[in-house]
Amino acid sequence: MPAPTLSEVIFSDQANHNFSKILGDLKRSNLSITNRLKSIQQDASFVGDVAATLNLPLVANERCGSWYIDSRLKAASAYFKSTDGHAGQWKFSTRRLNLQLLELIGRRDGCIIVDSTRRGKRMPDALSKTVPVWCCVLNRALFPDDAASHRLFVPPNAVSDSEKSQIEARLPEFLESLRALDLNLTSLREHLKKPLRPLWVTREDDLSPDLAETVAKSFHPVVCCTSSRQVVGTELSESGYIQGAGDDTENWALGLTALIFWKHAYKLLSTPEPDLPGLIESLVAESEVERATASDVEQVAHCIFVGLYSALEASLASGCCVVSLTPKSTDQSAWTRSTSYLEVGLGKGKIASRLLRDALPHICEFVSRFLERPRGSPEAKVVVLCDTGRDLSVGVALALSCWCFDASGGRAHQTSRGPFTKTAIRIKLGHIMTARPDANPSRATLQSVNSFLMDWRN
């Protein structure tokens, strides 16, 4: 048997296999739930310092912003997508208008929008580009005569001059998309005393009250706060710290939410890693019981309300027309429970959003028949319920608003209905999102609504 070569001795297949396994084990142990929660706590401490120094309210940019704000300090939520700020894909979203922030900004003379980003990046595109575009477009719409407020401000260390110029070229298009929604801009303008101006804060910046005070003389400061410390390279060298630890919760959180975490932070942070799955399971179950006792609905369009399943009993008792979208798939023949109650089993997630397309004709005709029935009271109510009150129920409410009512809120009938256009649907959606700011219908849900409305005559 020949003697082994030097490379076989030092870099044998077995050694390489063991080395890869060791690295994988180290990475998994570093990305443990414990390390994630401790990293979140560190980031939230920084966010709390920013709020105390600047004396401004904290706004969580969802989905993950709420992880970095102690729930006792959170003033509001917003939905600014990083994809709307990706290079070449810049967008002013008419689906996520975030107009609920204007009242808070005007009342408190600004706000702090909190988000994080993945390892290696300084700040998320949502804060470096999506929020600045939002501020600029709203300034142009609400302060048309204040040319000084129409400039686009972006962080120079994150956005190049070339990219800024390309975004600026599209601002007129973005402004027209907002104006096309036919919103009451006068009432929105009443919330603000001054235009908006984005600013940026990261863990690497020196924090001073002057940051916002100087700007506040002429603008309402909208401070974009990146909560996580930038990690260059692997987290293995960071003593357990994870940049953007609150991201991708579906892969690590076991159902834990930011609200549950902050309610039980001490217990979760002091529990050994092996015991965390069991503790999280019990806390999530407890939260589900508490959530089931809530029973609020919110009006989003003419006589149309949306809410959670927990409002079912009260809605049925009040004589409303109720459409309940359940997470268990059922045959359409079993959906109709009475002349005023439709229980639609679509399943969960993206599958439910796709199946919504075929369910909408049945839902819309059911509600139309209910609204056409003679009744003693002058106005009927339609309540749409789902497991979140923010996705499927909002999509159905949008379809019903288009199908059953015209632009002025009057009843639409077979002969006067449609044709529906993307612009008309977008206007209805804009009003719904203004009425229910935490609504977050998925792209698949909205595609089903558009497909149904625009193809119904074919």
Q: How confident is the model at residue 9 (pLDDT cuts 50, 70, 90)?
A: low
Query: What pLDDT, on a 0 to 100 scale, did the predictor assign at position 23?
Result: 42
Contact indicator for 86, 125 with CB cutoff of 8 Å: yes
Long-range contact list for 207-210, CB < 8 A, 24+ apart? Answer: 207/49, 207/50, 207/53, 208/53, 209/53, 209/54, 209/55
Query: What pLDDT, on a 0 to 100 scale, did the predictor assign at position 18?
Result: 55
pLDDT score of 105 more than 80? yes
pLDDT in tens, 254-282: 989 998 999 999 999 999 999 999 999 99
In order of their start, the domains of the chain are 33-247 (no CATH), 254-293 (no CATH), 297-455 (3.90.190.10)
Judged by DSSP in three states, 43 sits in: helix
Mean pLDDT of 150-163: 93
Q: What is the pTM of this model?
A: 0.79
pLDDT score of 454 more than 70? yes
Query: What pLDDT, on a 0 to 100 scale, did the predictor assign at position 234?
Result: 59
Judged by DSSP in three states, 316 sits in: helix
DSSP states along 230-281: P--S-GGGTTT--TTTTS-GGGTSTT--HHHHHHSHHHHHTS-GGGHHHHHH
Q: How confident is the model at residue 17 (pLDDT cuts 50, 70, 90)?
A: low
Cβ neighbours for 5, distance < 8 A, ≥ 6 positions apart: none
Half-sphere exposure of 54 (CA within 13 A, CB side): 32
Query: What pLDDT, on a 0 to 100 scale, did the predictor assign at position 427?
Result: 85
